[in-house]
């Protein structure tokens, strides 16, 4: 054989080996995940690297804590839950890729994951196509109800609308909207504007900044010019730190111009610095300070596992709840089979750190109590108002006359 | 009044841009190294302030300035010694190398300090603001502007008055000539990298006053920093100063006059730089070496 | 003496490119056919649909890599904004597919939840499949030509060009994200069902799509190969090694560069258009700074001076990313970062460079591969201050065959134009 | 004789420094003109202006009736003006043949650009012959000696079929033998082309020059045959009327 031809052949053989190695990675025994064998595999898919890791890593931690607790209590259907953790890397196609991998390679029973709307939208077709389940633990912009997704965070009528109700109750007549430039803030602000129009509030301005933006002096100057009664803040991640630091140093106080934030929880408060955000309002369904024995055990367990300095927050709690809600549904269904679990889930009610949550079988969202909180100088959030009872999820805002035409 | 305010804001944005770009004018300007890890040196400076906090309390920002300079400088020196020095003569490759390093440094920060942002408290005396006839300039902005100007003056003095500095300038202007004139260019390169990276550390400390402190801190600033250097001209202190303030003011006005202008401003800045390069292809100031005859 | 623009016919007599031994001449085509067979026949048979989809995705990136190999490896243009062209092609295709599957009122899903009430005029022509296909190529090519003429004519190059192209990617992403009603914002375009009659939910149809991707990659590879062995390819290398000197050959280097840049942009656009049905979504995250850098890094690792290296590198880097992150979700970034650093330091010409050195070592047995690996090579653009990079005193690698047209071959740039020094230009 | 190149009222100022002042300069078709002068006289600047590398402050440069100012370098090349550089620049990765072929390429139809080179074009063969590089045709240009590189550059010029050649110090750094060979080459080339040579080497000048133009501090000092110029007291002053040391250096440099 001529020497020149040998090398390509060698390379071809090497490539074939590589490819077949990939093929082998599809371990046929992986099929055990969905029920046979001694464990039940579940996927956990959050960004552990990239810009979104800031928020998502602790949600993963909370979900792993829930799995550990359930296993300690005997698991489900007599089997231990085995988490398979993947990194979404703050990249939406990666979320889709890893979701597919968890479903078809690891054969997981369900997946807990996602944070941004974009990651959810990327994963949605994967789960619908494979008829697999995703539990999505973050408050979001609504207008969605996939039969293969369970939404354990708030939809708009459980967070944004109560926030607006609260401002109205406080006599705030004019608001200014500040948000990051992506889907959640834009949709949220559309809802806010419709609400304001119907409730005699004026929207003095609407500003969006790119994700990761850190220069807010101009936005603050616009606020100073517009002098709104309150600011509705839908900024995400890093931008909140810059916004609040710069808001404070410009001399605008929370008393003169309070902001209501929907993406600032205990964890973000630490990064912003409590002194920079103290006195401002936030809207969530859960705070670390929420009273109740169930929350006390959750906070204690979380600090016990991850360190006393750690705080708990709404998305973490929603992720934690998601695992328990799934486990409860599996127990009720007596199987991890997707359709059975979906069927069994309707109406499941659970005592969680935020209080009682119930799965709404109609849209696979959960009933949640809305809570408005005031950030304290120590970094904790004090509840100043709540909705009294869990609010029925209404992702398309069908029950709100002013919202017709939004979807 | 709003206009005046925007001018002040523009200047303070310019000061931030200048601080983050200053180090790059050296490493990019003199050595042609496209250091994508420059952002992570900024991050290292910010975390230095965070680490010093429990030791020295709320004055940590002041103490952190020299310490962060040293920390980031040493990081830069290590990078130069271990990797970049293999790359002289092919500067573009350094981009890929330093990008890999920046990925690693981010992950290191995530593993050491955790993924969420951490808090660096500003000293009490930086919390107020200066009233300039109705325009309020926060003290922390004043501090950053003073710091930026201070850094520029220090560098200028260093480059013109000190022997080491003059050597650095010589290498910047004509590496070969400097080498044959007996300047140890390799030593100068190390020093340049130390100073350039150290300046990133200083910028990092300053940024704790106005922005987030987290593993991805650097990625928020790196592109802006490069644009300043490109618009200013390679290795040109004067160009970098003018470019930083021009871009800062441009940014602040576009953002103010256009509704929802923050995104738009970034696009405008890019367009303006492209247009500007049509007039001045080599940046604002070019070292002129007359054609040799 | 007349200086007339008379065209001189090629003489047929006289030596052409130096003849090669038969085996060496066949090595390139043999490799091409072997890899082709592997991709067409073996991979679909061996891989699960999930893995085949992933391979299809890598191949889309490999198409971009071919273009980068041309623009950067041959032309010396370090383009950090290739994601923009990938995105333009991808969005052109995505818009068409979305319109095909549009819900009530002819609106794509994201417009419904973004509150857009009637189809924007910009979208309308994309309903036409032919128009969409044409735009896949024309949009990126047009942008590349405009940008190329603007910056190359002004002699913006080297690091300047790199930074500008990076800023282009940043600005493009911001534009896309800011026009949510028009582009789907950060979410991008998701949830595709059909692609020109192929049902993307059917494994069989998906496999066919995969074969289409393989065929396109093969075609693009051959196109780039022909271009780089042609006179244009030599001119491109000449521009890379001595842009200012090329002016005195009667060519405007800006035009030569712009053409190569536009071809690479067109390839990226085609890759983006295939990526959309292959992966099922396209978002600004696929075209930003990081995505563009990842496209580039594959080429660097594979070996930018070799088109085959570029393709192999793109496949390897993306495969490694998948495998690293599956094996170690917490620490894969370290592995990835380390891979970049190690290759850049110890194999500056990439894996193809290593392979060439190994070949040379075997053939000549006179120079161990380690030496030429460690020998620094100059960057793709000439260092205009006239400083010769170390090692350029012996610029001719014995590994370099006389005929540089074969894809696996190495063409190292050297060239240190004194012209630039005379113009008082800064090191690029 | 027809005037091929006319430079009129040329001024070049580099940030305050007057490199060329009010220069008038004419070269007729078929001439072999030498351009000399001490360092900083403006010789290379003049060539840079003619070839479009430097934009003058004012003045006019006409070539065969066409104004050159405002044209870009490659357009000027396409008009038929070629030049070499003090430090020769060839494409080291390409072979000698490829270098020459590339230089000849712009006169070909566009379609040939997309094809591979097959065979050798006439003007390439001629250029190889005249420069004596035929034997090295398949060698990469990177391995050539300094002298061979200069010849290759001249060969590349010839392959372009220009009507005016500008050679910037073609024998600088060459050995005696190489200089002699270059001189012969120059004679051959000058038979069919108009050539302007910038040169320092007095010996070379005496042996090969016909007409000489002397520049000094950006101005035209004098013009004439070698003998005339050497006899001109102003030239002597410029070259010799300085301190002994400087002239000694000049002599050293020139040899």
Per-residue pLDDT tens for A70-112?
A: 999 999 999 999 999 999 998 888 999 999 999 999 999 999 9
Residues in chain A closer than 8 A to C47 (CB atoms): 19, 22-23
Residues in chain D closer than 8 A to C417 (CB atoms): 89
- Comparing CB atoms, the residue among D15, D39, D48 nearest residue B291 is D48
Predicted local confidence at residue B207, as pLDDT: 94
C-beta atoms of D39 and B291 within 8 A: no
Residues in chain B closer than 8 A to C341 (CB atoms): 83, 97, 100-101, 104
- Domain ranges, ordered by start, for chain A: 157-289+370-403
pLDDT band of D2, cuts 50, 70, 90:
confident
Best of C8, C155, C227, C249 to substitute, by most chain D Cβ atoms within 10 angstroms, is C249
Residue A190 near residue A183 (C-beta atoms within 8 A): no
A406, closest residue in chain C (CA to CA): C115
Predicted local confidence at residue B160, as pLDDT: 87
Per-residue pLDDT tens for C63-90?
A: 999 999 999 999 999 999 999 999 999 9
Best of D12, D13, D14 to substitute, by most chain B Cβ atoms within 10 angstroms, is D14
Q: Say if residue C376's pLDDT is above 80.
A: no
Residues in chain C closer than 8 A to B97 (CB atoms): 340-341, 344-345
Give yes or no for C338 touching A (CB within 8 A). Answer: no
- One digit per residue, the tens of pLDDT, for chain B of length 293 reads 678 888 888 998 999 999 999 988 888 777 778 888 999 999 999 999 999 998 887 777 889 999 999 999 999 999 999 888 888 767 778 888 898 999 999 999 999 999 889 999 888 888 888 887 777 788 999 999 999 999 999 999 988 888 888 888 887 777 778 888 888 888 888 898 999 999 999 999 999 999 999 998 988 888 888 889 888 876 678 888 999 999 999 999 998 888 777 888 888 888 888 888 777 766 555 443 333 22
Q: Give the residue with greater pLDDT, B207 vs C358.
A: B207
Q: What whole-number distance in Å separates Cα of residue D90 and Cα of residue C244? A: 11
B 61-90 residues with CB < 8 A to C: 83, 86-90
- Comparing CB atoms, the residue among C158, C334, C345 nearest residue B107 is C334
Residue A183 near residue A138 (C-beta atoms within 8 A): no
Residue C409 near residue C356 (C-beta atoms within 8 A): yes
Predicted local confidence at residue C22, as pLDDT: 63
Q: Is residue D117, in this structure, part of any structural domain at all? A: no
- D34 to chain B nearest CA, in Å? 15
Subunits in contact with chain D (3 or more CB pairs closer than 8 Å): B, C
Average pLDDT, chain C: 80
Predicted local confidence at residue B233, as pLDDT: 75
What b-and-e string marks burial along B168-207, b requiring 16 or more CB atoms within 10 Å of the CB? bbbbbebbeebbeeebebeebbbbbbbbbbbbbbbbbbbb
pLDDT band of A36, cuts 50, 70, 90:
low
Q: What whole-number distance in Å separates Cα of residue B151 and Cα of residue B142? A: 14
Q: Say if residue C2's pLDDT is above 50.
A: no
Neighbours of D96 (CB within 10 A): 30
C299, closest residue in chain B (CA to CA): B96
Predicted local confidence at residue B282, as pLDDT: 62
Per-residue pLDDT tens for D61-110?
A: 999 988 999 898 899 999 999 998 877 778 888 899 999 998 888 877 77
What b-and-e string marks burial along C293-321, b requiring 16 or more CB atoms within 10 Å of the CB? bbbbbbbbbbbbbbbbbbbbbbbbbbbbb
Predicted local confidence at residue B235, as pLDDT: 66
What's the whole-model pTM score? Answer: 0.86
Q: What whole-number distance in Å separates Cα of residue C143 and Cα of residue C156? A: 17
C-beta atoms of C11 and D117 within 8 A: no
C 46-85 residues with CB < 8 A to D: none
Please compute the mean of the pLDDT values over residues D34-40 and round it to a whole number. Answer: 86
Closest by Cα among A272, A259, A251, A268 to A233: A259
Predicted local confidence at residue D253, as pLDDT: 53
Predicted local confidence at residue B287, as pLDDT: 42
Domain count, chain C: 1
C-beta atoms of B226 and C167 within 8 A: yes
Please compute the mean of the pLDDT values over residues D128-150 and round it to a whole number. Answer: 90
Q: Say if residue A24's pLDDT is above 70.
A: no
Domain count, chain B: 1
Percent of chain A predicted with pLDDT > 70: 91
Please compute the mean of the pLDDT values over residues A28-39 and round it to a whole number. Answer: 55
For the question of an ipTM over 0.95, the answer is no
C-beta atoms of C151 and B274 within 8 A: yes
- D76 to chain B nearest CA, in Å? 20
Residue span of the structural domain in which C149 resides: 47-331
Residue D99 near residue D141 (C-beta atoms within 8 A): yes
C-beta atoms of B293 and D41 within 8 A: yes
Which of C93-97, D220-224, D250-254 has the lowest average pLDDT? D250-254
Per-residue pLDDT tens for A319-332?
A: 999 999 999 999 99
Please compute the mean of the pLDDT values over residues A59-63 and round it to a whole number. Answer: 97
Predicted local confidence at residue C162, as pLDDT: 87
Residue span of the structural domain in which D191 resides: 3-88+162-254
B3, closest residue in chain A (CA to CA): A221
Residue span of the structural domain in which B119 resides: 13-222
Subunits in contact with chain B (3 or more CB pairs closer than 8 Å): A, C, D
- Comparing CB atoms, the residue among A57, A215, A250 nearest residue B13 is A215
3-class SS of residue A257? coil
Percent of chain C predicted with pLDDT > 70: 79
Q: Say if residue A224's pLDDT is above 80.
A: yes
- Comparing CB atoms, the residue among B100, B233, B271 nearest residue C341 is B100
Q: What whole-number distance in Å separates Cα of residue B104 and Cα of residue B109? A: 9
pLDDT band of C24, cuts 50, 70, 90:
low
How far apart, in Å, are the Cα atoms of D80 and each of A77, C1, D195?
89, 9, 12
Predicted local confidence at residue A231, as pLDDT: 97
pLDDT band of A345, cuts 50, 70, 90:
very high
Q: Give the residue with greater pLDDT, D233 vs A62.
A: A62
Q: What whole-number distance in Å separates Cα of residue B205 and Cα of residue C187? A: 34
Percent of chain C predicted with pLDDT > 90: 43
Closest by Cα among C348, C343, C224, C64 to B92: C348
Exposed/middle/buried for D81, CB within 10 Å: 0-12, 13-18, 19+? Answer: buried
Q: How far apart are the first and last CA of chain B?
A: 56
Average pLDDT, chain A: 90
Per-residue pLDDT tens for A112-141?
A: 999 999 999 999 999 999 999 999 999 999
Angle of CA points C68, C70, C71, to nearest 5°: 65
Q: Say if residue C12's pLDDT is above 60.
A: no
- Upper half-sphere CA count for residue A392 (Cβ side, 13 Å): 11
C-beta atoms of C78 and B292 within 8 A: no
Q: Is residue B280, in this structure, part of any structural domain at all? A: no
Q: What whole-number distance in Å separates Cα of residue A132 and Cα of residue A125? A: 10
Q: Any contact of D with A, at least 3 CB pairs below 8 A?
A: no
CATH of A157-289+370-403, one of 3.40.50.300, 3.40.190.80, 3.40.50.2300, 1.10.10.10: 3.40.50.2300
Subunits in contact with chain C (3 or more CB pairs closer than 8 Å): A, B, D
Q: Give the residue with greater pLDDT, A341 vs C11.
A: A341
Closest by Cα among A192, A182, A127 to A156: A192
Residue A209, strand partner residues: A180
Q: Give the residue with greater pLDDT, D181 vs C407.
A: D181
Give yes or no for D42 touching B (CB within 8 A). Answer: yes
- Comparing CB atoms, the residue among D15, D39, D54 nearest residue B291 is D54
What b-and-e string marks burial along A246-283, b requiring 16 or more CB atoms within 10 Å of the CB? bbbbbebebeebbbbbbbbbbbbbbbbbbbbbbebbbb
Predicted local confidence at residue C419, as pLDDT: 35
Predicted local confidence at residue B292, as pLDDT: 25
Predicted local confidence at residue C423, as pLDDT: 33
Angle of CA points D116, D117, D123, to nearest 5°: 155
pLDDT band of C5, cuts 50, 70, 90:
very low
D79 contact partners, CB below 8 Å, separation of at least 6: C3, D63, D64, D66, D68, D71
pLDDT band of C406, cuts 50, 70, 90:
very low
pLDDT band of C244, cuts 50, 70, 90:
confident
Q: What whole-number distance in Å separates Cα of residue D223 and Cα of residue D227? A: 11
CATH, residue D201: 3.40.50.300
Give yes or no for A383 touching B (CB within 8 A). Answer: no
A 188-207 residues with CB < 8 A to B: 205-207
How far apart, in Å, are the Cα atoms of A96 and each of A44, A123, C49, C295, C333?
13, 5, 15, 19, 19
Q: Is residue C86, in this structure, part of any structural domain at all? A: yes
Backbone angle region of A107, left / alpha / beta, with phi > 0 → left and psi within -120 to 50 → alpha = left
Per-residue pLDDT tens for C200-237?
A: 888 899 999 999 999 999 999 999 999 999 999 999 99
C 99-128 residues with CB < 8 A to A: 112-115
Q: Is residue D96, in this structure, part of any structural domain at all? A: no
Predicted local confidence at residue B203, as pLDDT: 95
D 59-78 residues with CB < 8 A to B: none
C-beta atoms of B34 and C348 within 8 A: no
What does the DSSP assignment read for A210-228? -TT----HHHHHHHHHH--
- C178 to chain A nearest CA, in Å? 6
Residue with tokens 């949220």: A188
Q: Is residue D64, in this structure, part of any structural domain at all? A: yes
Q: Give the residue with greater pLDDT, C408 vs C344.
A: C344
Give yes or no for A186 touching B (CB within 8 A). Answer: no
């Amino acid at each position: 054989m001529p020497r020149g031809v040998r090398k390509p052949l060698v390379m071809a053989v090497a490539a074939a080996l590589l490819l077949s190695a990939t093929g082998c990675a599809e371990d046929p025994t992986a099929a055990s995940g969905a029920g046979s064998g001694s464990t039940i595999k579940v996927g956990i898919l959050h960004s552990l690297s990239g810009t979104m890791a800031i928020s998502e890593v602790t949600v993963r931690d909370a979900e792993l804590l829930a799995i550990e607790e359930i296993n300690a209590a005997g698991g489900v259907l007599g089997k231990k839950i085995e988490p398979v953790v993947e990194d979404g890397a703050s990249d939406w196609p990666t979320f889709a890729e890893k979701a597919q991998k968890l479903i078809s390679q690891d054969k997981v029973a369900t997946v807990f994951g996602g944070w941004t709307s974009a990651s959810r939208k990327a994963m949605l077709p994967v789960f619908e196509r494979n008829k697999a389940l995703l539990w999505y633990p973050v408050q979001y912009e609504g207008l969605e109800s996939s039969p293969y997704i369970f939404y354990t965070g708030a939809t708009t009528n459980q967070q944004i609308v109560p926030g607006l109700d609260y401002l109205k109750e406080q006599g705030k007549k004019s608001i200014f909207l500040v948000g990051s430039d992506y889907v959640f803030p834009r949709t949220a602000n559309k809802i806010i504007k419709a609400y304001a129009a119907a409730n005699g509030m004026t929207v003095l301005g609407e500003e969006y900044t790119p994700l990761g933006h850190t220069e807010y002096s101009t936005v603050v100057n616009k606020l100073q010019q517009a002098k709104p009664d309150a600011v509705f803040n839908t900024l995400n991640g890093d931008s909140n730190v810059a916004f609040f630091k710069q808001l404070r140093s410009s001399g605008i106080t929370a008393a003169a111009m309070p902001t209501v934030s929907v993406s600032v929880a205990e964890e973000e408060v630490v990064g912003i610095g409590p002194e920079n955000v103290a006195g401002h309002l936030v809207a969530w369904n859960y705070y670390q300070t929420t009273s109740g024995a169930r929350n006390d055990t959750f906070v204690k367990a979380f600090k016990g596992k991850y360190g006393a300095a750690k705080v708990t927050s709404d998305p973490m709690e929603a992720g934690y709840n998601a695992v328990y809600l799934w486990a409860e549904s599996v127990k009720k269904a007596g199987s991890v089979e997707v359709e059975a679990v979906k069927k069994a889930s309707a109406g499941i009610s659970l005592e969680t750190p935020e209080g009682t949550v119930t799965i709404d079988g109609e849209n696979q969202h959960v009933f949640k109590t809305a809570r408005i909180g005031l950030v304290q100088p120590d970094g904790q959030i004090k509840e100043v108002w709540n909705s009294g009872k869990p609010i029925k999820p209404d992702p398309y805002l069908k029950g709100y006359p002013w919202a017709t035409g939004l979807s | 009044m709003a206009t005046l305010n925007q001018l002040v804001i523009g200047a303070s944005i310019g000061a931030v841009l200048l601080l983050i770009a200053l180090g790059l004018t050296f490493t990019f300007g003199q050595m042609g190294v496209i250091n994508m890890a420059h952002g992570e040196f900024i991050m290292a400076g910010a975390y230095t302030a965070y680490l010093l906090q429990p030791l020295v309390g709320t004055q940590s920002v002041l103490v952190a300035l020299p310490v962060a300079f040293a920390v980031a400088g040493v990081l830069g020196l290590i990078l130069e010694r271990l990797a970049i020095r293999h790359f002289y003569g092919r500067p573009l490759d350094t981009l890929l190398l330093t990008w890999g390093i920046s990925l690693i440094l981010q992950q290191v920060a995530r593993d050491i300090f955790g993924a969420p942002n951490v808090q660096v408290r500003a000293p009490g005396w930086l919390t107020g603001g200066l009233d300039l006839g109705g325009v309020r300039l926060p003290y922390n902005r004043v501090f950053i502007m003073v710091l930026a100007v201070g850094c520029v003056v220090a560098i200028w003095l260093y480059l013109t008055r000190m022997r080491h500095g003059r050597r650095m300038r010589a290498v910047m202007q004509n590496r070969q000539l400097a080498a044959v004139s007996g300047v140890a260019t390799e030593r100068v390169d190390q020093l340049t990298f130390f100073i350039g990276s150290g300046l990133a550390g200083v910028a990092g400390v300053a940024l704790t006053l106005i922005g987030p402190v987290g593993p991805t801190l650097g990625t928020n600033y790196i592109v802006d920093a490069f644009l300043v250097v490109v618009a200013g001209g390679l290795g040109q202190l004067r160009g970098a100063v003018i470019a930083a303030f021009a871009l800062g003011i441009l940014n602040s006005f576009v953002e103010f006059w256009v509704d929802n202008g923050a995104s738009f401003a970034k696009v405008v800045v890019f367009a303006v730089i492209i247009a500007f390069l049509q007039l001045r292809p080599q940046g604002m100031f070019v070292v002129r070496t007359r054609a040799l005859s | 003496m007349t200086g007339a623009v008379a065209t001189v016919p090629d003489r047929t007599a006289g030596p052409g490119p130096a003849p090669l031994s038969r085996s060496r001449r066949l090595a390139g085509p043999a490799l091409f056919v072997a890899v082709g067979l592997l991709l067409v026949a073996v991979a679909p048979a061996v891989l699960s649909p999930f893995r085949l989809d992933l391979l299809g995705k890598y191949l889309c990136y490999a198409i971009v890599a071919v273009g980068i190999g041309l623009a950067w490896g041959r032309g010396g243009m370090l383009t950090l904004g290739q994601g923009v062209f990938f995105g333009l092609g991808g969005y052109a295709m995505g818009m068409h597919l979305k319109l095909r599957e549009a819900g009530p009122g002819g609106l794509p899903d994201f417009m419904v939840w973004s509150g857009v009430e009637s189809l924007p005029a910009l979208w309308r022509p994309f309903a036409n499949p032919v128009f969409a296909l044409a735009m896949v190529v024309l949009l990126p090519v047009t942008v590349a030509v405009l940008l190329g003429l603007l910056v190359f004519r002004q002699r913006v190059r080297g690091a300047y060009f790199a930074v500008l192209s990076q800023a282009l990617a940043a600005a493009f992403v911001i534009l896309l994200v800011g026009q949510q009603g028009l582009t789907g914002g950060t979410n991008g375009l998701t949830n595709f069902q059909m692609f020109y009659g192929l049902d993307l939910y059917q494994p069989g149809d998906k496999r066919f799509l995969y074969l289409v991707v393989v065929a396109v990659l093969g075609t693009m590879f051959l196109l780039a190969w022909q271009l780089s062995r042609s006179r244009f390819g030599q001119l491109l290398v000449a521009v890379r090694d001595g842009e200012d000197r090329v002016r005195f050959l009667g060519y405007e280097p800006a035009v030569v560069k712009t053409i190569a840049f536009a071809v690479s942009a067109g390839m990226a656009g085609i890759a983006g258009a295939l990526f959309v049905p292959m992966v099922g979504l396209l978002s600004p995250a696929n075209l930003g700074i990081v995505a563009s850098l990842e496209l580039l890094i594959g080429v660097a690792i594979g070996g930018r001076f070799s088109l085959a290296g570029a393709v192999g590198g793109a496949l390897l880097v993306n495969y490694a990313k998948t495998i690293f992150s599956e094996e170690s979700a917490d620490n894969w970034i370290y592995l990835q970062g380390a891979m970049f650093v190690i290759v850049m330091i110890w194999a500056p010409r990439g894996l193809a460079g290593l392979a060439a050195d190994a070949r040379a070592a075997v053939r000549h047995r006179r120079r161990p591969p380690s030496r030429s690996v460690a020998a620094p090579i100059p960057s793709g653009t000439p260092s205009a201050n006239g400083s010769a990079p170390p090692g350029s005193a012996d610029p001719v690698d014995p590994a370099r065959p006389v005929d540089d047209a074969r894809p696996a071959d190495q063409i190292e740039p050297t060239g240190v134009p004194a012209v630039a020094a005379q113009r008082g230009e800064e090191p690029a | 004789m027809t005037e091929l190149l006319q430079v009129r009222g040329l001024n070049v100022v580099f940030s305050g420094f007057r490199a060329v002042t009010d220069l008038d300069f004419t070269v007729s078709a078929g001439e072999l003109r030498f351009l000399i002068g001490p360092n900083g006289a403006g010789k290379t600047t003049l060539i840079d202006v003619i070839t479009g590398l430097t934009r003058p402050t004012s003045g006019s440069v006409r070539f065969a009736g066409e104004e050159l100012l405002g044209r870009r370098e490659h357009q000027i090349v396409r008009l038929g003006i070629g030049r070499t550089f003090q430090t020769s620049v060839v494409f080291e990765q390409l072979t000698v043949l490829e270098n020459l072929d590339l230089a000849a390429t712009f006169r070909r139809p566009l379609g040939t650009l997309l094809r591979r080179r097959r065979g050798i074009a006439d003007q390439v063969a001629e250029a190889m012959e005249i420069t004596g590089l035929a034997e090295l045709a398949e060698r990469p240009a990177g391995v050539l000696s300094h002298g061979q590189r200069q010849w290759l550059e001249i060969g590349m010029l010839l392959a372009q079929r220009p009507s005016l050649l500008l050679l910037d110090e073609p024998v600088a750094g060459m050995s005696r033998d190489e200089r002699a060979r270059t001189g012969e080459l120059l004679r051959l080339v000058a038979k069919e082309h108009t050539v302007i040579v910038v040169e320092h080497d007095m010996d070379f000048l005496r042996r090969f020059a016909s007409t000489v133009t002397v520049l000094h501090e950006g101005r035209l000092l004098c013009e004439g045959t070698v003998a005339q110029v050497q006899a001109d007291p102003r030239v002597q002053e410029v070259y010799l009327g300085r301190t002994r040391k400087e002239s000694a250096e000049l002599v050293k440099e020139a040899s």
